[in-house]
Amino acid sequence: MAEPAIALDGLERRYGERVALHGVTVRLEPGATLAVLGANGAGKTTLLRVLATLLRPHAGRAAVFGSLLPGDGWKVRGRVGYLGHDPLLYRALSGRENLAYHARLHGLEPARVEQRLSAVGLARRADDPVRDLSKGMVQRLAVARATLHDPDLLLLDEPRANLDPAAAEALEPLIGRASGRARVLVSHDVDGALAEADLALGLRAGRQAFCAPAGEIDAKTARELYA
Amino acid sequence: MIRTAAAVLRKDLLIEWRTKEAVPAMALFTVTVYVLFHFGLDRDSLDGELASGVLWVTLLLAAVIGVTRLFAAEREQGGLDAFLLAPVDRTAMFVAKAAALFVYLVALEIVAVPAFAVLLLGPDLFDGLPELVLILLLADVGLAAVGALVSALAAESRARELIVPLLLLPLVVPLLIGAASATEPLFRAGGEPEDLGRYLALLGGYDLVFLLIALAVFDFLLDD
Amino acid sequence: MFSKGLRPLAVAAVVTTLAAFALVFFYAPLDADQGFVQKIFYVHVPMAIVALGGFVAAGIMAIKHLRTGDSSWDLRSYVAIHLSIILGTGVLITGAIWAKASWGHWWVWDEPVLVSFLIVFLLYCVYYPLRFSIEDPERQARYSSVFAIAAGAFVPINFTAVRLAEAVTHPRVLSQTGGSLPGEMRLTFLVCILAMTLLFVTLWKLELTAKRTSAQLKRLRSRLELRAQAAG
């Protein structure tokens, strides 16, 4: 059997004396989608950052594609794509230059950049500096960046922010269920997230409120997280 | 690792070329300070140790500007995250940043040293150009290494603009001693470079030690 | 954990300090040139040596902190730097007094040890603003350790560089440390160094114990609060 995309067991992460994450236990198979729900400050972003190997676990077990974090985190960096609140793009450089930089960091061929630019519909504006692009375009570029290296696991924090329905639709093959990648999805659109997820994880003040197949979670349970 | 460092360096130089934030500011600052010295010291021309001191102290103060800006883009635009997400050797970030700072310093000196010669140096005092270039390059290596380290140390601090000069300036005192002492005889009429070897050795030793230290500890600044 | 051995250490420190005082005032001969004021040298130089030793030791503890990730090493390093800075202020003050009494100026650039000490002192003073302007506690500790290591390595380099510069322009007028001291002075001097070192280590252990205890207290208190919250 293939390794799970994510295997967390009692994951803990502190911020000084405060608990950011505690006792998070979840297992996600390759290609499946995990919806992470919770109010602001519940630890959703922290969880994503731990999975992205940007933060190290303080206690518990965390493995991505079988590689144990933090020690073996470097092994999976090429397989994880992170799309957070920050697009991680340099405003003074153009879209093409930004993607070319990321391509070099990941050791990818330059042709990949052109292909992605077309895929997100930015081929014509690729030479404009990022600061001249609208929020929607920046988001599309960020998606291009996050998927440039064809990651097997996508970590998505509000991926459809600033996107109109047509743009969101166009990005489905890259970051949606259709992409076939394992996904961890953080969204405030509870119903939407549950609809496209296989598993749902609820966080309240850093602690795990529930973790169950998405179909078993009803809207009421989910909304209690925000109470 | 070198390839990654080259990619980061290329990106940094491209951004600097586009935004022109660091080097012009450093150059302008330097020339302005020369003017201040002219009025402050009430002298038309300097020679010997005074000239050497003014040149080097001004360069170091200008370097503070470059050091403060070095990690600014990463911090403000999330560039550090992008780097950390990539399957690369993290030491490459230090190498790239130090190399970038080195380039900025050399660019600065191409403007600042002739400006100094024109504004403040007495006539016919500029004989030892090859030696001066050697001193400048050696000093720049040390400055680049320490500057990159200090920049990263201060990057996460709320008081970054204050911490950088306070941290950088004491650390470069040995470098100042070596560089200024070595340059001093070059600015004296009919002066021969004395003790040049001794001071170059000091500069070289300083460069080596801080490069090694920075390479050893830098990763800990990036980890979380 | 830190308080192990604190009492015998404190006793040893007090005893040695008293012995040092006795030696300084009753045993060591009066200096022919400078008279009684020269005796401040028995405080000034040991203080400087111990302070510098403290800085370097803090650097080594910082290496251990980064290697093991154990935050108690960071605490040890912090306290060592803290105490060395306090000692350092004493060094500069006693140095100024000595300079005034010996040469008539409050400060002299001829003494490479004093000069390089000033630079080191200025550098370490930045430890506090650096440390406390970083909000994430873990990052704060890590960055402080990086600083302590770089600064610790800086101490010998700086000393060499300043020595180099001064040796050329101002040949050393006075030779103080070790080497050419007459027997009675040397003995007094060594005892003073020992006393200062013991004092430093005692204060270091004392402060560590105090900090540990108050941290434990805070933890217990917050645990109680959490329990009260969960119950209520």
Give me the interface pTM, i.e. the ipTM.
Answer: 0.89
Chains that touch A (3 or more CB pairs under 8 A): B, C
Predicted pLDDT of residue B192:
66
Chains that touch B (3 or more CB pairs under 8 A): A, C
For all residues of chain C together, what is the average pLDDT? 83
Predicted pLDDT of residue B21:
85
Residue of C119, C129, C157 with shortest CB distance to B206: C157
> Is the four-CA dihedral B52, B55, B61, B64 of positive or negative sign?
negative
Predicted pLDDT of residue C35:
67
Predicted pLDDT of residue B193:
64
Residue C1 lies in a domain: no
| CA-closest candidate to residue B146, choices B170, B172, B165 | B172
Which one of C128, C139, C154 would you mutate to disrupt binding with B, by most B Cβ within 10 Å of its Cβ? C154
- Tens-digit pLDDT string for chain A (227 aa): 578 888 999 899 988 778 889 889 999 999 899 999 888 888 899 999 999 999 989 889 999 998 888 888 888 888 999 998 889 999 989 999 999 999 999 999 989 999 999 888 888 888 999 999 998 999 999 999 999 999 999 999 988 888 888 888 888 888 888 888 999 999 888 888 888 888 898 888 888 888 888 888 887 787 788 87
Full residue range of the structural domain in which residue C107 is found: 6-231
Chains that touch C (3 or more CB pairs under 8 A): A, B
Q: Say yes or no to pLDDT of C195 above 50.
A: yes
Q: Are C113 and B187 spatial neighbours (Cβ–Cβ below 8 Å)? A: no
Chain B contacts of C134, Cβ < 8 Å? 156-158
Predicted pLDDT of residue C28:
67
Residue C13 lies in a domain: yes
Q: Say yes or no to pLDDT of B157 above 80.
A: yes
A85 vs B: CB within 8 A: no
Predicted pLDDT of residue A156:
93
Interface of A with C (CB under 8 A): 15-17
- A216 CB-side CA count, 13 A: 8
Chain A contacts of C137, Cβ < 8 Å? 15-17
Q: pTM, whole model, 2 decimals?
A: 0.89
Q: What is the CA radius of gyration of chain B?
A: 18
Q: Say yes or no to pLDDT of C24 above 90.
A: no
Q: Which structure tokens are listed for B167?
A: 């941290």
Number of domains in chain C: 1
Chain B contacts of A97, Cβ < 8 Å? 11, 14
Residue C60 banded pLDDT, cuts 50, 70, 90: very high
- Rounded Cα–Cα distance for residues B59 and B112 (Å): 8
**How many angstroms from the chain centroid is the CA of residue C39?**
20
Interface of A with B in 94-113 (CB under 8 A): 97, 101-102, 104-107
Predicted pLDDT of residue B172:
95
Domain holding C118: CATH number?
Answer: 1.20.120
Residue of B18, B81, B86 with shortest CB distance to A106: B86
Q: Say yes or no to pLDDT of C25 above 80.
A: no
Give the minimum alpha-carbon distance from C76 to chain A in angstroms, rounded to a whole number. Answer: 18
Predicted pLDDT of residue C168:
58
Q: Mean pLDDT across the stretch C5-13?
A: 80
- Beta-bridged to residue A186, according to DSSP, are A36, A157
- Rounded Cα–Cα distance for residues C211 and C218 (Å): 11
Predicted pLDDT of residue C178:
39
Its CATH architecture, for the domain A6-212, is 3-Layer(aba) Sandwich (3.40)
Chain B contacts of A84, Cβ < 8 Å? 81
Contact assignment for B81 to A78 by CB distance below 8 Å:
no
- Rounded Cα–Cα distance for residues A33 and A31 (Å): 7
Residues in chain C: 232
Predicted pLDDT of residue C163:
81
Predicted pLDDT of residue C175:
45
pLDDT in tens, A26-82: 999 998 999 998 888 888 999 999 999 999 898 899 999 988 888 888 888 889 999
A128 vs B: CB within 8 A: no
- Rounded Cα–Cα distance for residues B16 and B3 (Å): 20
Q: Are B215 and B73 spatial neighbours (Cβ–Cβ below 8 Å)? A: no
DSSP alpha helices (H): ranges in C40-136? 41-68, 71-103, 112-125, 127-132
Q: Mean pLDDT across the stretch B141-157?
A: 93
Query: Which residue of B lies nearest to C129 if distances are taken between CA atoms?
Result: B163
Contact assignment for B156 to C139 by CB distance below 8 Å:
yes
| CA-closest candidate to residue B109, choices B127, B136, B144 | B136
Contact assignment for B167 to C146 by CB distance below 8 Å:
no
State the DSSP string of A90-155.
Answer: -TTSBHHHHHHHHHHHHT--HHHHHHHHHHTT-STTTTSBGGGS-HHHHHHHHHHHHHTT--SEEE
Percent of chain C with pLDDT over 90: 35
- Rounded Cα–Cα distance for residues B109 and B210 (Å): 22
Predicted pLDDT of residue B176:
93
Asked which of A148-162, B123-137, C39-53 is least confident by mean pLDDT, the reply is: B123-137
Contact assignment for C134 to B156 by CB distance below 8 Å:
yes
